[in-house]
Amino acid sequence: MATLWHGRFEGGSAEALQALNDSLGFDRRMFREDLAGSRAHVRMLARVGLMSVVDSEAVLVALDTVEVEMSDGSFAFAVGDEDIHTAVERRVTELAGDAGARLHTGRSRNDQVATDLRLWTLRELGEVAELVTAFQGTLASRADGAAEAYLPGYTHLQQAQPVLLAHHLLAHGWALARDVDRLLDARTRADVSPLGAGALAGSSLPLDPDSVAADLGFAARFENSMDAVGDRDFVAESLFVLALLGVHLSRIGEELVLWSSEEFGFVHLDDAFSTGSSMLPQKKNPDVAELARGKAGRLIGHLTGFMATLKGLPMAYNKDLQEDKEPLFDAFDTIRLTLSALDGMVATLEFRTDRMADAADSPYAAAVDLAEYLVVGGTPFRDAHAVVGALVRAALAGEGSLVDLVTADERLGPDAAALLARGAPVLRRTTPGGAGPGPVAVQRIRFADRLAAQSKRIAG
Ligand code: ARG
């Protein structure tokens, strides 16, 4: 099998070199993008007169045949097909002869692979943004269904103040909204065509990279041919955005692990989204939530691994860059799997709002409300904090229930004690963006608006 560089070489390639060097095993997944790039390139060659119309049409027909063969699995890969670009060009030349041999005019695999991977990434970023939006929709509808249910809000995983369940669910929704922003920002920066940069320096031929960029639907062409082929910021940035999204999913996963435990008992998982134990008949395990937690490690690994690959690379293209695809593909695959499973788990789980309310109804959860009662009466907050702190200490020491101690205290009294009633504290979280029913009603609307705006941006 002749290599792409057989003119310059006397001998063939060693098997070990091929095994290390070949990327077909993973880059064949970009065949549609490779074909799109080749079509745009051929049309440009014809426009600028570097290829006859007859030849360009023969190549376009051959590219269509390759598309059919690759789609239906009948494409016969050859031993020398080192990567998807080689395979396509080899087959086009078999099919279109001399016209096919003109396909690579003014083009290098360096600008070709950068183009393919950008096209692939652009689509994936948009599709993952859609999946995240769908999951946010699930969180929003579970928040709507949760009405005024409340649970303890935690800091340091210690009960702090009661919050509406809707507020808690939407807290995750807003983190995901920033992920969508980042996915779409990354898409904007990735939206630059490298095709026409050649190996690194452009060409002596009258190529027209602007029209190629427009043909492929890119927003712009490269400004600098070396940057065009040497840049993988869009890969690193995508890996970061996916890693942070994965981190957000891991936090949701961790909470579901806790909430589904006997000790918390805040949720019942649907059978379809939990697993059993091979040994312990009573077990129902939250594997989806655990994997959402675990997959973040893999995503962070892809980011740091690829950053290490990029570090210190001299301009312009280096074969090290071939290491971009496997982590990128795996990161997108991983996030898609995780998102859809976690979405299903959240959509189907049952909230045990009675357990949540019981846990949230400790009178100590309203301690700050007592201090704020004193503040309204003119006491400086620091002093109020000390007064209530002393009562809490006395209650914990067994000197009486907090309600009784508050009722008996002349600075506080029965009005203040009423603040400790079951379900009362969460009603008093009234400030903008706060955890009570008033601000949460506003928040639900703002969140729905945000989702609508997001969807528009994804489509645009
Ligand atoms: N398979 C290569 C990659 O993924 C394509 C570019 C090869 N370029 C080269 N000059 N050998 O990066």
Q: Exactly one of 52, 71, 261, 277 is catalytic; which is it?
A: 277
Q: Which atom of ligand 1 is nearest to the CA of 83?
A: 1
Which residue out of 113, 115, 321, 323 has the highest number of ligand 1 atoms within 8 Å of its CB and is therefore the one to mutate? Answer: 113
Domain boundaries, the chain: 15-105, 110-150+163-206+223-359, 362-457
Q: Which atom of ligand 1 is nearest to the CA of 82?
A: 1
- 401 catalytic residue (yes or no): no
> Which residues are CB-neighbours of 369 under 8 A, at least 6 positions away?
419, 420, 424, 425, 428
Q: Which atom of ligand 1 is nearest to the CA of 85?
A: 5
Task: Note whether 110-150+163-206+223-359 and 362-457 share their fold.
Answer: no
CA of 319 to the centre of ligand 1 (A): 6
pLDDT at position 86: 98
Take atom 12 of ligand 1 and give the residue whose Cα is closest: 322
The 10s digit of each residue's pLDDT in 236-274 is 999 999 999 999 999 999 999 999 999 999 999 999 999
Q: What is the dihedral of CA 272, 277, 280, 285, to 10 degrees?
A: -60
The CATH number that domain 110-150+163-206+223-359 falls under is 1.20.200.10
pLDDT at position 1: 53
How many Å separate Cα 362 from the centre of its chain? Answer: 38
Q: Which residues pair with 345 in a beta bridge?
A: none
CA of 88 to the centre of ligand 1 (A): 14
pLDDT at position 372: 96
Take atom 2 of ligand 1 and give the residue whose Cα is closest: 322
| Cα 254 to Cα 142: distance, rounded to the nearest angstrom | 18
Q: Which atom of ligand 1 is nearest to the CA of 27?
A: 4
Take atom 4 of ligand 1 and give the residue whose Cα is closest: 322
Minimal CA–CA distance to 67: which of 113, 35, 89?
Answer: 35
Q: Which atom of ligand 1 is nearest to the CA of 199?
A: 10
CA of 86 to the centre of ligand 1 (A): 10
CA of 113 to the centre of ligand 1 (A): 7
- 156 catalytic residue (yes or no): yes
CA of 402 to the centre of ligand 1 (A): 72
Q: Is cis: bond before 2, omega within 30 of 0?
A: no
Pocket lining for ligand 1, CB < 6 angstroms: 23, 27, 83, 109-110, 113, 317, 319, 321-322
Minimal CA–CA distance to 159: which of 366, 385, 374?
Answer: 366
Token pair, residue 6, equals 């057989």
pLDDT at position 10: 83
CA of 234 to the centre of ligand 1 (A): 17
CA of 110 to the centre of ligand 1 (A): 6
| Cα 286 to Cα 257: distance, rounded to the nearest angstrom | 6
Which listed CATH number (3.30.1180.10, 3.90.1570.10, 3.40.50.300, 1.10.40.30) goes with 362-457? 1.10.40.30
Which listed CATH number (3.90.870.10, 3.40.50.720, 1.10.275.10, 2.40.30.20) goes with 15-105? 1.10.275.10
Q: Any idea which residue has 């655990």 for tokens?
A: 290
| Cα 412 to Cα 347: distance, rounded to the nearest angstrom | 44
Q: What is the pLDDT along the chain (460 residues), one digit of tens a residue?
A: 567 778 888 888 899 999 999 999 999 999 999 999 999 999 999 999 999 999 999 999 999 999 999 999 999 999 999 999 999 999 999 999 999 999 999 999 999 999 999 999 999 999 999 999 999 999 999 999 999 999 999 999 999 999 999 999 999 999 999 999 999 999 999 999 999 999 999 999 999 999 999 999 999 999 999 999 999 999 999 999 999 999 999 999 999 999 999 999 999 999 999 998 888 888 889 999 999 999 999 999 999 999 999 999 999 999 999 999 999 999 999 999 999 999 999 999 999 999 999 999 988 989 999 999 999 999 999 999 999 999 999 999 999 999 999 999 999 999 999 999 999 999 999 999 999 999 999 999 999 999 999 999 999 8
CB 448 within 8 A of CB 116: no
pLDDT at position 158: 95
Which residue out of 319, 325, 326 has the highest number of ligand 1 atoms within 8 Å of its CB and is therefore the one to mutate? Answer: 319
Q: Exactly one of 156, 168, 193, 278 is catalytic; which is it?
A: 156
pTM of structure: 0.96
Which residue out of 5, 9, 23 has the highest number of ligand 1 atoms within 8 Å of its CB and is therefore the one to mutate? Answer: 23
Token pair, residue 377, equals 């009466």
Minimal CA–CA distance to 323: which of 339, 311, 305, 341?
Answer: 305
CB 249 within 8 A of CB 342: yes
CA of 109 to the centre of ligand 1 (A): 6
pLDDT at position 87: 98
Take atom 7 of ligand 1 and give the residue whose Cα is closest: 109
Q: Which residues pair with 164 in a beta bridge?
A: 150
Q: Which atom of ligand 1 is nearest to the CA of 321?
A: 12
Q: What's at 437, amino acid-wise?
A: P
Q: What's at 303, amino acid-wise?
A: L
Which residue out of 110, 116, 195 has the highest number of ligand 1 atoms within 8 Å of its CB and is therefore the one to mutate? Answer: 110
> Which residues are CB-neighbours of 328 under 8 A, at least 6 positions away?
117, 121, 235, 238, 239, 302, 306
Q: Which atom of ligand 1 is nearest to the CA of 319?
A: 12
